[in-house]
Amino acid sequence: MSTPATPLAGDFVSLLQRSQMALPRMELGGDGPAITQATTVFAFRFAEGILMAGDRRATAGNIIVTDAVEKVVEIDDSSLLAIAGVPATAFEMARVLQTSFEYYRRSQLQPLSLPAKVRALARLLRENMPLALQGVGIVVPLFAGVDHTVSPAQPRIYFYDPLGAQFQAVNYAASGSGSGTIRSILAFQERHGSPKPVEMTLPEAVRFALRLLMTAAEFDSATGGVNPEAQLFATLKILRATGVETVTEEQQSAALAGTDHD
């Protein structure tokens, strides 16, 4: 109670530092064990908002560690993070962001703005630079948030480089080892397809996203893909101006089978 306020009001990282609980900084060198990696994630704009998707596979070298990773994380009710890279670092970043955004909202009695959220992730990436440069803690995330400065509020997509540079995507972004395939298909669909991604309804967008992952998995062994017969689906989340919704495995199954309703 008598302790001074955080140097930057509402900043949770400052609170951690003041409480001497700052995140440990690792210095690594030499050859280490194969690092677990998470791939492939993407986001695109559709008629109702933004769909953010990720396969469920994590690999370490040529080993499949698991096919049950959740790479699309709800940070708060108006932000999503998609993780590509080293999960150990990426999930910690997600946890810091979740706590930071809620801490700011509760302590300052107003939500953090979208530009501040985008920069908060950039700051974490910059702080992770030593590990990224050594190639053991690299994270290349995607971020989606709602811009409340325009009317009506609009969801937006951002992508980053490993050092923290942030870029706003117009209609889509992808990251991870399978992202080349995904970006190519998205570019083709946007230019020549019908419907274009931005015109798709929710069931169309879900089906399209699942097929994107299936195709990426054809060319990239680190991408888990989707296999309805094995009950293997993706993580799909929708960001609308009104909030976040998770697309369940039942909904994904129905979308692939064409038994959903457009």
Among 25, 29, 97, 99, binds other proteins (CB under 8 A): 99
Does position 15 interact with other proteins (CB under 8 A)? The reply is: yes
Does position 68 interact with other proteins (CB under 8 A)? The reply is: no
Amino acid at 75: I
Strands 72-76 and 79-82 come out as antiparallel
With contacts defined by CB under 8 A, how many residues of the chain interact with other proteins? Answer: 18
Whether the CB-CB separation of 43 and 206 falls below 8 Å is answered with no
Candidate ranges 78-86, 91-99, 167-175, 195-203; the one touching other proteins (CB under 8 A): 91-99
Does position 22 interact with other proteins (CB under 8 A)? The reply is: no
Among 48, 67, 70, 102, binds other proteins (CB under 8 A): 102
DSSP annotation of 173: E
Measured CA to CA, the distance from residue 125 to residue 136 in angstroms comes to 13
Q: Based on CB atoms, which residue is closest to other proteins, 16 or 136?
A: 16
Does 3 participate in catalysis according to the annotation? no
Candidate ranges 54-62, 99-107, 143-151, 231-239; the one touching other proteins (CB under 8 A): 99-107
Does position 20 interact with other proteins (CB under 8 A)? The reply is: no
Of residues 197 through 216, those in contact with other proteins by CB under 8 A are: none
Does position 12 interact with other proteins (CB under 8 A)? The reply is: yes
Does position 24 interact with other proteins (CB under 8 A)? The reply is: no
Of residues 160 through 199, those in contact with other proteins by CB under 8 A are: none
Does position 103 interact with other proteins (CB under 8 A)? The reply is: yes
Q: Which burial class, exposed, middle or buried, applies to 191 when counting CB atoms under 10 A from its CB (0-12, 13-18, 19+)?
A: exposed
Given 6, 39, 223, 235, the catalytic residue? 39
Measured CA to CA, the distance from residue 146 to residue 74 in angstroms comes to 13
Does position 77 interact with other proteins (CB under 8 A)? The reply is: yes
Token digits of residue 189: 């669909």
Among 95, 150, 170, 248, binds other proteins (CB under 8 A): 95
- Residues 165, 103, 106, 1, CA torsion sign: negative
Measured CA to CA, the distance from residue 83 to residue 139 in angstroms comes to 7
CA 209 to chain centre: 14
Does position 248 interact with other proteins (CB under 8 A)? The reply is: no
Residue 154's beta-bridge partner residues?
A: 147
Show Cβ contacts of residue 82 under 8 Å, excluding neighbours closer than 6 positions.
41, 42, 43, 52, 53, 54, 71, 72, 73, 141, 142, 143, 144, 175
Q: Under the rule (CB under 8 A), what is the footprint of other proteins? A: 1-2, 5, 12, 15-16, 19, 21, 76-77, 95-96, 99, 102-103, 106-107, 109
Positions marked active-site: 39
